[in-house]
Chains A and B, each alone.
Chain A
């Protein structure tokens, strides 16, 4: 039986699945749900214009986080939509212009929404190419250089992996894509607000952001679309023509304002927060490594965000550990597939066996994780592992 968790409430260490809304974000959003409910597209009256101004201020915060111009930011319902829009949008626009470029290159460890979107495009006459990663989870720029030819339309590589937290070398990868005239898209749902990302310095053309992965609300995201040189997309759906025709539908003003505030806070506090999370992460790792000899870290130890550990336990299944620690919220992998029994395709792409993958947990630390919670997690997991190993005998 484990001791009670700090503050007697569940210890949330699944910050790659979703992050709690920052109280400052919540506070910024609330009036826009209630008294200030105007439609931001109602330019004809005061209540609409006031919502529009707040939405535009939020857009500027999103842009500033990644070094973009506000008009390069298309607001969406989330990173899944941003990724669908970036990839399908670029492909369909190019096809409509009679472009001969048909190849779309991505990586085996991408989020499902990227993999599914790229795979779908095969039925529209495109050629999906899915590259493997090394045992450290990183894509070798030379391998990308080989896969990209002058018939390649788009390369999509995520900034930070959602399961193992590794950071891809976007600047080097984007350079390889650009050298052959291909567009470069990055799914930065797990990277934005966690690591510095500057679209100019990285040379990316399209970049996806999620609100709820950076302490903002669910239901909102953004897609950066480069203006110079201009990247052209076909919309996923049409209608009122909002977001310069790329994304029709009433903008969810409160959610957009929450996203803006989340980006503002992330930009201001990223450096300090990273140091704090790295200290907590090291404390967690040191504690577990001491208590559980043979525990192994998956993915590059150097090129990773501070808030993630992906760990293979030597003698207990992830399911047994989770069952033994009901007060600990951790996961076996991506949330969308966390109810599945299949081994994580990200882990198998690193070369883990299905059996090793079944002994693996994703632990995600976040802005509201305390030292006491880390210590609780170490003690709970160590105890659970001991009894599971003893039971397995």
Chain B
């Protein structure tokens, strides 16, 4: 049976540019901190990867801190900046690694589409004069909702708050420049950008001075100790560069066209299905689809049996039965447990979308009748 992979927000297939970078870096056996020829070759690869990522993002190479992944990058920013006593404001739909990075973070509500309430954020910032850190994801991993980052950044500037942006889901789907310009710190994950698992990056602008989470050999200018995972880092830098170029050169339009094909097909074939967040800007690859009366886990299992990989929410919690905090925060009620996430990878084709539509229509025909 042909497998159709539509779970890109859990992890993207490796991009060829990342593959080449990983393979080249695997040839380097040295430790980047060693001073001999092998070590220097590894160091060169590390610094070239840093420069490559910095150039892609338009920041100084010194602003890049490599980590083990998006979770650690987010934790370093949030816990590291909160260490100086800042109060932390997070939106209700942040990833758990941001929501739970520090105890006592204050939650800023979102509307029914998952868009953060600028009014509530402004009030929270105005009410308490202590220095704040605002943490907001550029685009949500479950719904694809894109936050109004320019407005949020303006609010932060007005109240002297730092802004941390979790941009893990953005590469290859949205241009990154605006978010990079708005952020004091910005987190990226290699494997969500079409790189390998095992590396992430935190952009740390001059305005932000986080405390380190991992202490040791003083790597990454003291902000992140540990021998750098070279192949994963080289793959991350190549992937983000390739994703950014791909996105600008027609990739985003391509994804948007596939997404429209999927939405149109659904409207025609399964009128009972509801596309969430349809009236706000969302990632061109992500659809949150509710099928009233049918549990999301049932839908996902039926689709998996039909050869289609999607998910009922974030991958890290997909083994759990707990309801999505993202959908709950949007006030979806029972629909929160009846919504699946379809996320198109950069490799998606029209045939993939059509295969999904066939499987989904068959599944909905069988299960929705059952539910009714």
Q: Which residues of A contact B (CB under 8 A)?
A: 10, 12, 14, 17-21, 26, 33-34, 37-39, 41-48, 76-81, 83-84, 111-114, 116-117, 120, 210, 212, 217-220, 236-242, 248-255, 322, 326-331, 334-339
Q: Mark B193-204, 1 if CB is under 8 A from A, else 0.
A: 000111100000
Most buried by A among B71, B75, B225, B227: B227
The complex places the Cα of A46 from the Cα of B95 at a distance, in Å, of: 24
Beta-carbon contact of A249 and B69 below 8 Å:
yes
CB-defined A-B contacts under 8 Å, sample of 9: A34-B19, A47-B5, A218-B232, A238-B96, A239-B75, A240-B96, A250-B70, A335-B33, A339-B35
Beta-carbon contact of B317 and A240 below 8 Å:
yes
Tell me if B's interface is mostly helix, strand, loop or mixed.
loop
Q: Which residues of A contact B314 (CB under 8 A)?
A: 240
Beta-carbon contact of A254 and B33 below 8 Å:
no
- Interface-lining segment among B147-155, B214-222, B260-268: B214-222
Q: Which residues of B contact A47 (CB under 8 A)?
A: 3, 5, 7, 309
Pairs A-B, 10 closest by C-beta atoms: A219-B229, A240-B316, A336-B217, A113-B216, A239-B97, A252-B198, A77-B68, A237-B75, A249-B71, A80-B226
Question: Is B319's CB within 8 Å of the partner chain A?
Answer: yes
**Closest residue on chain A to residue B309 by CB atoms:** A45
Q: Which residues of B contact A (CB under 8 A)?
A: 3, 5, 7, 10-14, 19, 22, 26, 29-31, 33-39, 67-72, 74-76, 79, 95-98, 100-101, 189, 191, 196-199, 213-219, 225-232, 235, 297, 300-301, 304, 309-312, 314-320
Beta-carbon contact of A113 and B75 below 8 Å:
no
The complex places the Cα of A111 from the Cα of B226 at a distance, in Å, of: 11
Q: Which residue of B22, B26, B34, B232 is within 8 Å of A338 (Cβ)?
A: B34
User: Given A77-B69, A252-B198, list of 19 further CB < 8 A pairs?
Assistant: A14-B39, A18-B30, A42-B318, A81-B68, A84-B225, A112-B225, A210-B227, A218-B228, A237-B71, A239-B97, A239-B101, A240-B95, A241-B316, A248-B71, A249-B71, A249-B72, A251-B197, A331-B34, A337-B217
Most buried by A among B67, B70, B226: B226
Tell me if A's interface is mostly helix, strand, loop or mixed.
loop
**Closest residue on chain A to residue B9 by CB atoms:** A39
Q: Which residue of A37, A212, A237, A248 is within 8 Å of B13 (Cβ)?
A: A37
Most buried by A among B13, B217, B311: B217
CB B99 to nearest CB in A, in angstroms, measures: 8
Beta-carbon contact of A17 and B34 below 8 Å:
yes
Beta-carbon contact of A237 and B97 below 8 Å:
yes
**Closest residue on chain B to residue A19 by CB atoms:** B29
Q: A80-B226, A240-B317 are in contact. Are A254 and B36 (CB under 8 A)?
A: no
Q: Which residues of B contact A39 (CB under 8 A)?
A: 7, 10-11, 191, 197, 315
The complex places the Cα of A291 from the Cα of B29 at a distance, in Å, of: 30
The complex places the Cα of A17 from the Cα of B301 at a distance, in Å, of: 47
Beta-carbon contact of B33 and A338 below 8 Å:
yes
Beta-carbon contact of B316 and A338 below 8 Å:
no
CB A71 to nearest CB in B, in angstroms, measures: 15
Beta-carbon contact of A113 and B215 below 8 Å:
yes
Q: Which residues of B contact A19 (CB under 8 A)?
A: 29
Beta-carbon contact of B101 and A250 below 8 Å:
no
CB A376 to nearest CB in B, in angstroms, measures: 15
Q: Which residues of A contact B315 (CB under 8 A)?
A: 39, 41-42, 48, 240, 250
Q: A218-B230, A322-B36 are in contact. Are A18 and B31 (CB under 8 A)?
A: yes
Beta-carbon contact of B198 and A254 below 8 Å:
yes
CB A75 to nearest CB in B, in angstroms, measures: 11
Beta-carbon contact of A33 and B196 below 8 Å:
yes
Q: Which residue of B75, B197, B228, B318 is within 8 Å of A252 (Cβ)?
A: B197
Q: A77-B226, A331-B36 are in contact. Are A46 and B198 (CB under 8 A)?
A: no
CB A185 to nearest CB in B, in angstroms, measures: 15
Beta-carbon contact of A338 and B35 below 8 Å:
yes
Beta-carbon contact of A240 and B216 below 8 Å:
no
CB B10 to nearest CB in A, in angstroms, measures: 4
Q: Which residues of A contact B22 (CB under 8 A)?
A: 33
The complex places the Cα of A66 from the Cα of B38 at a distance, in Å, of: 30
Q: Which residues of B contact A335 (CB under 8 A)?
A: 31, 33-34, 39, 217, 227
